[in-house]
Amino acid sequence: MQLTLGPVLFNWPTEAWQDFYARIADEADVDRVIVGEVVCSKRMPFRDHAIAAVLERLARAGKEVVYATLALPTLPRETRAIREAIEAGYPVEANDIATVHLLAGAPHVVGPYLNIYNEAALAAHAALGATRVCLSPELPLAAIEGLAARAGAVALEVFAFGRAPLALSARCYHARAHGLPKDACQFVCERDADGMDVATVTGQPFLAVNGIQTLGHGVTAAIRQVDALRAAGVDALRLSPQSCDMVAVARVFRGLAEARIDAAAAEAALAALPLPGPLGDGYLRGLPGARRLQDAE
């Protein structure tokens, strides 16, 4: 079972972002790294000059690299950027159906933002060139097993660590929470390396905001399901970067994937990290996504 490091979803300062990938290249035991801006095209200019070097360094370190594309392109310049990435010859992760259209049948990865809930949708995407699909974090284990049994040649990935992406909007909630218009956002999203916490009016932690994206407050941790996922034939676990030590996170999941450590040890190791929220696996258990590891049904 492989490990895939998903794209950094948050607006980390360019230098911190470069340093992160330098360390991943040197130290992280992952098989594949997806790099690129998924959430907001306004962040792209800051990293455009650095991304080629990052990809190259990761490849040199023996990682398979994939270029991630926007999840909600709307402007012509945004689809143009996707087209250019495809033309540049990078292996591409499609996160919107527009990108699948632009790929015109070329082999590609499908990220967790496309709706693939059943074998017919999976077959349709395979016919369109998808070789690897990261499933929606919403899917319960039973559905994942059902899909894996019918996946054919498509490699399936499961969202195994990180705040789960839940929604996208034309509106920027970071800007809105700071009383700023989207067009003059001052990049306030840069202040929250793991997203901005959102609580209920009674103070209960609930969600997290990352620009136009909303995520869960809890940190998904598919710890107890790894054996079942491996048995089902799931190809890889996807680890979504948070500001904690992702090298350590990769070490934990490698241990689980190779059945060298058990779930309790993994949970203890992850819980020792400075996480932005409690560990949870509600979705995998067919429960509300917000349910924590220790919550009963």
Partner 1 sequence: MTARRSLELVCPAGTPAGLRAAVDAGAHAVYCGFRDETNARNFPGLNFDRAEMREGIAYAHARGARVLVALNTFMRVGAIETWTRAVDDAVAAGADALILADIGLIAYARDAHPRQRLHLSVQAAAATPEAIAFYRDRFGIARVVLPRVLTLDEIARLTAAAAPCETEVFVFGGMCVMAEGRCLLSSYATGKSPNQNGVCSPPSHVAYREENGALTATLGGFTIEQFGRGEPAGYPTLCKGRFAANGATSHLFEDPVSLNALELLPRLAEIGVSGLKIEGRQRGRAYVAAVVRAFRGALDALAQGRAPDAGALRALTEGQADTTGAYRKAWR
Residue in the structure block whose two tokens are 């779930």: 263
Position 85 contacts partner 1 (CB under 8 A): no
Q: Angle, to 10 degrees, between the axis of helix 141-149 and the axis of helix 119-127?
A: 50
Residues in region 4-43 near partner 1 by CB under 8 A: none
Residues in region 130-189 near partner 1 by CB under 8 A: 136-138, 143, 146-147, 150, 164-173, 176-178, 181-183
Distance (Å, whole) CA 20 – CA 246: 9
- Least distance to partner 1 from the beta carbon of 15, Å? 25
Distance (Å, whole) CA 23 – CA 20: 5
- Altogether, the residues listed in the chain come to a count of 297
Distance (Å, whole) CA 218 – CA 240: 13
- Residue closer to partner 1, measured from CB, 3 or 144: 144
Distance (Å, whole) CA 35 – CA 7: 5
- Residue closer to partner 1, measured from CB, 52 or 142: 142
The distance of Cα 23 from the centroid of its chain, to the nearest Å, equals 19
# residues near partner 1 by CB under 8 A = 66
Distance (Å, whole) CA 147 – CA 139: 10
- Least distance to partner 1 from the beta carbon of 106, Å? 14
- Least distance to partner 1 from the beta carbon of 109, Å? 17
- Least distance to partner 1 from the beta carbon of 4, Å? 20
Distance (Å, whole) CA 253 – CA 205: 26
- Least distance to partner 1 from the beta carbon of 263, Å? 22
The answer to whether 200 and 256 have CB atoms below 8 angstroms apart is no
- Least distance to partner 1 from the beta carbon of 133, Å? 12
Distance (Å, whole) CA 177 – CA 50: 30
Near partner 1 by CB under 8 A: residue from 25, 65, 72, 226 = 72
Position 200 contacts partner 1 (CB under 8 A): yes
Near partner 1 by CB under 8 A: residue from 61, 123, 126, 228 = 123
Residues in region 236-275 near partner 1 by CB under 8 A: none
Which DSSP helix (H) or strand (E) runs through 92?
strand 92-94
**Binding site residues, partner 1, CB under 8 A:** 72-74, 79, 96-102, 113, 115, 117-125, 136-138, 143, 146-147, 150, 164-173, 176-178, 181-183, 196-204, 206-207, 209, 214, 216, 282-283, 286-290
